[in-house]
Structures are given as structure tokens and as C-alpha cells.
Amino acid sequence: MEVLFIMYAIEMKADAMLPRERLRDLGAEHLSNQELLSILLRTGTKATPVLEVANQILKNLDSLADFQHLSLQELQQINGIGYVKSIEIKAMIELAKRISKAEYIQKERIMSSERLARKMMLELSDQKQEHLVAIYLDTQNRIIEQRTIFIGSVRRSIAEPREILYYACKNMATSVIIVHNHPSGSPEPSENDLRFTQKIKRSCEDIGIICLDHIVIGKYQYYSFREETDVL
């Protein structure tokens, strides 16, 4: 009795490719959020493939931006995410934020208050304490240094101009932008914010430095003294 072996080939369609292969062949920009996340997760569980684990994570988020707010404990409550993976995810998110920040700072020219405010919202909008940041610029509005001048406390909730101007002189900056957040989430400036803006403007003028703006960061919005008032 003869047994006939029929030779055949299975043609894999592009859609059937695994995320790693799709990234290799098509580029990361062509992958979905689910596929990118599955690559970072690497493995699923015995019952749940990694793509499904990634999908479960993303379905629980109102937007991709909310991903950064998940705590280690919240991540570990998701089926397929253990202690090690939750640590890796948090590290990945923090590294992405730092890359974004470094890319902006590196010889970036400040062209508008809005663009700077959007960047600072990523850094400050979720802070539970008030942070005041000074951004020192050269003659072409390129960032020389971004420095946190102070973090608010019970005893103290405002910085002094001399602290800000000390680093302005040290950096030989020609202008400075002040940014601080409101932990309440509202960017509406207080009377203290207004008085401080007037004070820092006068102090800058005394030593020949331009105070370009004072930006107040809220949860989802910002307030620019340059855009909204004639103080600066």
C-alpha cells in the first residue's frame, strides 16, 4: 500500500504576524497600543495570551495618559501582571517621561507659553505639593537650565526672587520663565500669585533680566500671566 505525502506551504498573512515581527518588519509606529504593550509584557498566563492581557489593561483606562497614574498595587490586580512586571511597567513609564523631557530641554527654543505649559503639565499636574520651577534661557530663548527652586511645605509656600535670580546670574541667563503648580488642580491664580509675579518682574528688571512669563499649572489647564494679563 502506497502512502502519498502531499507537500504544501502555509502562507502567513501580515495580520497573523506576532507583534515583535511586525515591529521588526513595519516599524514601531505601525503597531497598535495593544501590540506595543504586549511586547513590553512579553508573556501572558497559561489561560490568557499576552495580547489579551494587554487588551485588558488598556480597556480599564479612559485614555492612554491614565496609564502613568496606575500604582504598583493597581497593576498587580490585573490578571497576568505580577510584582516583577508591575515594576518593569512603572520603570518603562518613567523612562518614557524622562526621554520626552530630555528631548524638549536639549537646545529647545521656547516659542510659546502654551507649548511650554503642556510640557510642564506632564511634570507637575499630579504633584501633591506645590513646586516652583525656574527655566533659564539664553538670548535665543534656548533652555540653559530647568531648576526646581522649592517644594512647598506647611511653613513655606512661596519662593523668594533672590533664590531664582541667583541661578539666573550663575547661568548668565538673559530671561527666565517661572512655573508653579496648584495641587488643587485649578490653574486660577491667587492674589499671592499676582503679587509674586509683580515682585519677580521688578527684581528681574533691577538686574537686567527679562521675566518672560509666570505659568500656573493645573490638572488639565494652565494660566499664563503673559497671555492673560498685562503684568508682564
Instruction: Render pLDDT for 57-69 as a digit per residue (tens, 0 to 9).
Output: 898 888 888 888 8
14 confidence band (pLDDT: 50, 70, 90): very low
In the predicted structure, residue 19 carries a pLDDT above the cut 60: yes
pLDDT for 161 = 92
Residue 93 contacts residue 86 (beta carbons within 8 Å): no
Residues 98 and 133 in one domain: no
Last residue of a domain, one of 40, 74, 103: 103
| 206 within a domain of the structure (yes/no) | yes
Last residue of a domain, one of 87, 103, 119: 103
Residues 77 and 170 in one domain: no
Residues 114 and 153 in one domain: yes
Residues 88 and 189 in one domain: no
Residue type, 180: H
Residues 98 and 138 in one domain: no
Beta bridge partners of 24: none
Domain that holds residue 96: 14-103
- How many folded domains does the chain comprise? 2
Nearest to 152 by CA among 178, 118, 115, 127: 127
| 175 within a domain of the structure (yes/no) | yes
Q: Are strands 143-151 and 131-137 parallel, antiparallel or unpaired?
A: antiparallel
Backbone angles phi, psi at 147, to 5 degrees: -130, 130
| CATH code of the domain covering residue 175 | 3.40.140.10
| 218 within a domain of the structure (yes/no) | yes
Last residue of a domain, one of 103, 135, 158: 103
CA-CA distance, 163 to 123, in Å (whole number)? 21
Residues 191 and 214 in one domain: yes
78 confidence band (pLDDT: 50, 70, 90): confident
pLDDT for 199 = 95
Residue 202 contacts residue 208 (beta carbons within 8 Å): no
| 115 within a domain of the structure (yes/no) | yes
Determine the angle formed by the axes of helices 161-170 and 191-206, rounding to 10 degrees.
40
Spell out the residues 6+ positions from residue 75 whose beta carbon is closer than 8 angstroms to its own. Answer: 81, 85, 86, 89, 90
117: its cell numbers: 505649559
Residues 220 and 131 in one domain: yes
Residues 76 and 157 in one domain: no
pLDDT for 183 = 93
pLDDT for 211 = 97
Residue 218 contacts residue 187 (beta carbons within 8 Å): yes
What are 203-229's pLDDT values in tens digits?
Answer: 999 999 999 999 999 999 999 999 999
Backbone angles phi, psi at 24, to 5 degrees: -60, -45
CA-CA distance, 54 to 166, in Å (whole number)? 48
